[in-house]
Structure formats: structure tokens, C-alpha cells
């Protein structure tokens, strides 16, 4: 472990921040993290148990795999079923259940579904196998969308005739607006995502403070990062302030990464997108722009998937909104485990249910 990361796990510093949080947070509040890596970090390091009774830490829709709607997963599966198609995607999508199947099950049935470690790997497959049509399934937030955007641009440069992308990418700020307008969701402060914020910076979140009076802090992923973010939120609430602050200066600047944003904007345009548990949120999806239509899998491999359905008993959607905690779901740890997941929140390495299952004893009886 490097000296830098050691400092951000220093027990003495962490204890000091916990004491500061306890001293500052005199009024009950609910703080929601909207990053799957934060969800795992909070669970892994037992940070929820260190909080005073006045602070409730809640997980939100921070896992891009989890918020992908069944209809979109069904679409990817139907594309994978077409003759001559290779569907390439990241490993965390393989076991995610759709309405009737999963990519892992389709692969077991003989479909050509392949795990890649970079979108560029899918271009290499297309070059090596010109008789196949390679579809890259892109799922993620602003963190991964720029790399897929650059891959689309590279496909155009190489003039690959047998490659396309299925973009299921989503953008985070609009989902936060939907949450604060949801009467069932009561959040008094947001722990904002570090990875996404390295790309988009601070400005897209400003509406939380200016329009809704909700404090927000961008934090990193080590225990001291998260505790510092919680303390800064508690301090804002105690002082009656609502601002967007950065507690992750070594990774995030106020302006973000303009080059990455420009790459996204070149390849993608905003469209309405369905989020599991939340519904359709205007302008939060990323579709390929018309000038890249020849690389849009929706047009290149037109299919009609079956009508989507929700899996009976799965309450992943309510968990993603923060309306339920994972162990409030009747399937948690019983019918639904990481080995036999029913919903995506138990599948993904960033899912709330997976985090609670791995690092708590709830529901394992």
C-alpha cells in the first residue's frame, strides 16, 4: 500500500473525523451516496456503524448496472440471439437478469457473447472476424461513456463495416433531480460520486444547492475520504448552508475534464432513459448522434424484444431509490444471494444488496 493511500486509511485520522462528526451532527439527517464504489467502501470499512444516531447513511442509484432497466437488458439479449452477431461487454453485465434470461445464460446456450476489458477490444474482434457483426454493449455513467465515445470515433477512422455500439449509458445529475422530486425519497445531503465528478466537475450539481437547498460533497473512496465528506455535510447542515463542495481535490477539479466531456458530446446526444426503480428520466440517456448512425446497433441490428416484466418479489428498484434498505427486501439473503441473484443489486460488484450481503449479517439466517 502506498504512503498516500495509507494516509487515507489512517485510524487516528479516521477517529478524529468520527469525533468531529459526532460533535457537529446534532440534528437528524439522511445522507445518500450515489456511487457504487462509495456503497462498497462504506460497507467494507464499517463506516455506517461509526455514525452517530443523528446520521442515516443511505445508498442510492449509484450502480450503472443496477439501474439498467429490464427492457434494455432484454434488447441486448435479443441482439445477441441474432445469427452472425458477437456481443461484447464487460464482465459485470453477464449475470444481470433481464425479464427472461441473462447474457450468461445466453452464452451457455451457444450465443456468441464475449467479455472484454476495453471497448477497443471489440474493435480488434471485428477486424479479426470480418464475417461477424460485433456489437459492443456500453453500460455506465459519465465515467465510462468517454472511452466508448472515443471507440466510436476510432471505428469511424478505421471504417469498420462490421462493428456497432449499443449505448445504454446514463448521466447522473438528472437522476439526482428526479430523486429530490420524489415524495418518497427524503434526503438532506448527497455524497456525490468521485469517478463521475472527475469527468463532469462541480457545475452540473449546483442546482441541488441553489434550487433545493440540499448540501452536497464530492468525495473519494478511502475511509478518510468518506468520513471527511460526511463531516463537511454535517457542518453545512449545522451552519444552515447549502453548497456543493469538493473533498476529493486530488482527483476532482471544479471544471472536471473538458476533453472527456467534449468526446462524449461529439459522439452522443441526450435522450430520455429508463432507470430501474425511478422510471423514465428526460435527457439522462446517451444515444449515438446521427453522424455516427452507421455504428448504432439499434439501427444495424434491428430486433423486437419480448415485452419486459419485473421478477416477482424483487425490490431492487425501491433499494435504488433509497426507499428500502437491502435487508428490507423479503428475498435478500434467502431467495437472492450473489451465487443465485434475483435482481441486479445483488449481481453487481457495486450493488447495494451485494455490499450489504458481503459485509453484514442481515438476512443470512
Question: What are the DSSP calls for 286-317, one per residue?
Answer: EEE-GGGGGGBHHHHS---PPPP-PPTT--HH
Structural domain boundaries in the chain: 1-360
Cβ atoms 137, 113 nearer than 8 A = no
Strand partners, 163: 134
- The cell 441486479 sits on which residue? 344
> At 184, phi and psi to the nearest 5?
-85, -15
DSSP for residue 332: B
Query: 3-state class of 192 per DSSP?
Result: strand
d(CA 48, CA 325): 13
| Burial of 233 (C-beta count, 10 Å sphere; 0-12/13-18/19+) | buried
pLDDT at residue 349 in the model? 83
Cβ atoms 131, 103 nearer than 8 A = no
CA distances from 260 to 150, 164, 196, 266, 297 (A): 9, 21, 11, 10, 23
Q: Are strands 268-275 and 244-246 parallel, antiparallel or unpaired?
A: unpaired
Render each residue's pLDDT in the chain as its tens digit; 365 residues. 444 455 677 889 999 999 999 999 999 999 999 999 999 999 999 999 999 999 999 999 999 999 999 999 999 999 999 999 999 999 999 999 999 999 999 999 999 999 999 999 999 999 999 999 999 999 999 999 999 999 999 999 999 999 999 999 999 999 999 999 999 999 999 999 999 999 999 999 999 999 999 999 999 999 999 999 999 999 999 999 999 999 999 999 999 999 999 999 999 999 999 999 999 999 999 999 999 999 999 999 999 999 999 888 999 999 999 999 998 999 999 889 988 889 999 998 889 999 999 998 654 44
d(CA 326, CA 318): 9
Burial 312-325 (b: 16+ CB within 10 A, else e): eebbbbebbbbbbb
DSSP for residue 148: H
Query: Which pTM does this prediction carry?
Result: 0.92
d(CA 112, CA 96): 17
Cβ atoms 87, 168 nearer than 8 A = no
pLDDT at residue 9 in the model? 78
pLDDT at residue 365 in the model? 44
DSSP for residue 336: B
d(CA 65, CA 348): 7
Residue among 185, 193, 251 at smallest CA distance from 217: 193
d(CA 137, CA 15): 43
Burial 120-141 (b: 16+ CB within 10 A, else e): ebbbebbeeeeebbbbbbbbbb
- Sign of the four-CA dihedral 199, 261, 32, 346: negative
Give the CATH H-level superfamily of domain 1-360.
HypD, alpha/beta domain 2 (3.40.50.11740)
pLDDT at residue 6 in the model? 56
Residue among 292, 20, 3, 31 at smallest CA distance from 179: 31
DSSP string, 123-142: HHHHHH-TTSEEEEEE--ST
Amino acid at each position: 500500500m502506498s504512503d498516500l493511500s495509507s494516509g487515507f486509511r489512517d485510524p487516528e485520522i479516521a477517529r478524529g473525523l468520527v469525533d468531529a462528526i459526532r460533535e457537529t451532527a446534532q440534528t437528524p439527517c439522511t445522507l445518500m451516496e450515489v456511487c457504487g464504489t462509495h456503497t462498497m467502501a462504506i460497507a467494507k470499512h464499517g463506516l455506517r456503524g461509526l455514525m452517530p444516531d443523528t446520521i442515516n447513511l443511505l445508498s442510492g442509484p449509484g450502480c450503472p448496472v443496477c439501474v439498467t432497466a429490464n427492457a434494455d437488458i432484454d434488447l441486448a439479449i435479443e441482439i445477441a440471439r441474432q445469427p452472425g452477431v458477437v456481443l461484447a461487454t464487460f464482465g459485470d453485465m453477464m449475470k444481470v437478469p433481464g425479464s427472461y434470461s441473462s447474457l450468461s445464460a445466453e452464452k451457455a446456450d451457444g450465443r456468441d457473447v464475449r467479455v472484454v476489458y476495453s471497448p477497443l477490444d471489440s474493435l480488434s474482434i471485428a477486424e479479426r472476424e470480418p464475417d461477424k457483426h460485433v456489437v459492443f454493449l456500453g453500460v455506465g455513467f459519465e465515467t465510462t461513456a468517454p472511452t466508448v465515445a472515443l471507440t466510436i470515433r476510432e471505428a469511424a477512422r478505421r471504417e469498420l463495416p462490421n462493428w456497432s455500439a449499443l449505448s445504454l449509458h446514463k448521466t447522473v445529475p438528472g437522476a439526482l433531480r428526479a430523486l429530490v422530486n420524489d415524495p418518497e425519497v427524503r434526503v438532506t445531503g448527497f455524497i456525490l460520486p468521485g469517478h463521475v465528478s472527475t469527468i463532469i466537475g462541480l457545475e452540473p450539481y449546483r442546482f441541488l444547492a441553489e434550487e433545493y437547498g440540499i448540501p452536497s460533497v464530492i468525495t473519494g473512496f478511502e475511509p478518510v475520504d468518506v468520513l471527511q465528506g460526511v463531516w463537511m455535510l454535517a457542518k453545512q447542515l449545522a451552519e444552515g448552508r447549502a453548497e456543493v463542495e469538493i473533498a476529493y481535490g486530488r482527483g476532482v477539479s471544479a471544471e472536471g475534464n473538458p476533453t472527456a466531456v467534449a468526446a462524449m458530446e461529439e459522439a452522443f446526444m441526450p435522450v430520455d432513459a429508463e432507470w430501474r426503480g425511478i422510471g423514465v428520466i428526460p435527457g439522462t440517456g446517451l444515444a449515438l448522434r446521427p453522424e455516427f448512425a452507421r455504428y448504432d446497433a439499434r439501427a444495424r441490428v434491428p430486433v423486437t424484444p419480448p415485452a419486459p416484466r419485473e421478477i416477482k418479489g424483487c425490490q431492487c428498484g425501491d433499494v435504488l431509490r433509497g426507499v428500502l434498505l437491502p435487508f428490507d427486501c423479503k428475498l435478500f439473503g434467502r431467495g437472492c444471494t450473489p451465487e443465485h441473484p434475483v435482481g441486479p443489486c445483488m449481481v453487481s460488484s457495486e450493488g447495494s444488496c451485494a455490499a450489504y450481503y458481503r459485509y453484514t449479517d442481515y438476512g443470512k439466517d
